[in-house]
Amino acid sequence: MPLDLVVNVAVGGVLTGLVYGLMALGLSVIYGVVRIVNFAHGEMMTVAMYGAVLLYTRLGLDPLLMIVPVGMALFLAGYAIQSLLINPFINRPEHVQFMLVIGIAIIIANGLLIGFGPDARNAPVSYAMDSFSLGPLLLDKVRVYAAGGAFVVAALLFGFFRYARTGKAIRACADNYVGARVVGLDVKRLYALTFGIGTACVGAAGSMLALLVDVTPSLGPSYTLLAFVIVIVGGLGSMAGALFGGVLIGLSEALAGLFFAPSAKSMFSFAILILLLLFRPQGLFGRRA
């Protein structure tokens, strides 16, 4: 098999994986702090994708430039969902919380179906069909921009949690819930903030993914599943793990499609997941419970 073909496919897989990683980062942040498994994750990303597509088709605004406004809108929605819906359920059994977020997912998917119909929509930006040429390497322009955007957003998020006062407070809540309350942190507000940050990540990822994938209302569950696979592979609650897991899954799917049957490429992500669950259940970057 020609080397340039393998390299082209591998680079494409890594670039797509970075966007996947950003999407999964949101899930990991939410789980790491609030301990809620967000089954509506994919649906929230679909909302962001529709937002980006609408802003492009109605106002001609490039989805890449809409990362911030779409992310902000999703942040507000996430903050509201956590404050109004999830916080009252925070001390209830896990299965009750699951039902709540699954309910939110169903409402979002059907709301989108009512609002936009079942047809696939996309944002046909002027550079949608362009590629960068680097010797034998041909890089899809949209994918390069989206991966770059994902990298920047992830770096900002890492910086926020490491250096910002609020970021440190959120980490304190994640590490020790009782301790955080004892020192006077407003845990419920920080939870809402975390959920908002998680959904903002999804908003940014959705805005970029709108350039790569045509959006339909039924898109959500497959991305929720993908985010779960990535987060479990990377390690639940680990931000670096989510990003690395995204790249690993993107790369493995691309290479599996090339070396084996393309129709069986998802099988390889699940094979990685099963192997990890068997031999390193905490994930690649997760801490043992």
Partner 1 sequence: MDKPAKRLLHLPISRRAFGIGAGAAVAAAVTPFNIVRAQTGPLKIGVLLPKSGYEAQIGQSCQRGVDLAPALLKELGYSVDLEIMNADTETNVDVARSRAEKLIADGANLLIGAFDSGQTSAIAQVTEQHGVPFVINIGSQPQITESGYKWVVRNFPTTVQLITRGLERIKTLLAETHTTPKTAVYLHVNDTFGTAVSGAINKLVPTMNFPFKIVEEIAYDPAAKDLSVEVSKAKATGAELVLVTTRINDAILLVREMVKQRWSPMGIVSPGSPGMYEEGFFSALGKYSDYCLMMVPWVNPKAPMTRQITALFKSKYPNDPVDPHIFNVSFTFEAFLVAADAYKRAGTTAPAELMAALRKTHIERHIMVGGPIEFDAKGQNNGIVTVGLQDRGGRAVVVLPKEAAEMEPVFPMPAWNDRT
Chain residues in the site for partner 1 (CB under 8 A): 1-2, 5, 8-9, 12-13, 16, 113, 117-120, 122, 124, 128-131, 138, 140, 212-214, 216-219, 222, 253-254, 257-258, 261-263, 265-266
Please say which residue, 10 or 80, places its beta carbon nearer to partner 1. Answer: 10
Residue number with CB closer to partner 1 (24 or 187): 24
Q: Which is nearer to partner 1, 121 or 195 (CB)?
A: 121
Pick 83 or 131: Cβ nearer partner 1: 131
Single out the residue of 41, 25, 95 nearest to residue 221, CA to CA.
41
Q: Could you tell me the two tokens for 108?
A: 């979002």
Q: How far is Cα of residue 26 from the mean position of the Cα atoms in its chain?
A: 5
Q: Closest separation between CB of residue 113 and partner 1, Å?
A: 7
Nearer to partner 1, 12 or 149 (CB): 12
Distance, CA of 265 to CA of 50 (rounded, Å): 27
Q: How far is the CB of 134 from partner 1 (least distance, A)?
A: 13
- Minimum CB distance to partner 1, residue 6 (Å): 9
Burial of 164 (0-12, 13-18, 19+ CB in 10 A): exposed
Beta carbons of 210 and 53 less than 8 angstroms apart: yes
Distance of closest approach, residue 249 Cβ to partner 1, in angstroms: 13
CB of 84 or CB of 267, closer to partner 1:
267
In the complex, the smallest distance separating the C-beta of residue 221 from partner 1, rounded to whole angstroms, is: 11
Mark out the alpha helices in the chain (DSSP H runs): 3-34, 41-59, 67-81, 94-116, 141-163, 165-175, 177-182, 187-212, 220-234, 239-259, 265-279
Q: List the structure tokens of 237.
A: 């609650």
Least distance CB 193 / partner 1 (angstroms): 32
Contacts of residue 98, Cβ cutoff 8 Å, sequence gap at least 6: 37, 39
DSSP 8-class letter at 119: S
State in angstroms the smallest separation of the CB of 254 from partner 1.
5
Comparing CB distances to partner 1, the nearer of 15 and 170 is: 15
Residue 157 CB, nearest distance to partner 1 (Å)?
25
**Position 73: which residue type?**
A
Please, what is the angle between helix 187-212 and helix 3-34, to 10°? 160
DSSP string, 82-99: IIIIIGGGTTS-HHHHHH
Give the number of C-alpha atoms closer than 13 A to the C-alpha of residue 39, restricted to the C-beta side: 14
Residue 64 or 100 having the CB closest to partner 1: 64
Distance CA 153, CA 176 (A): 27
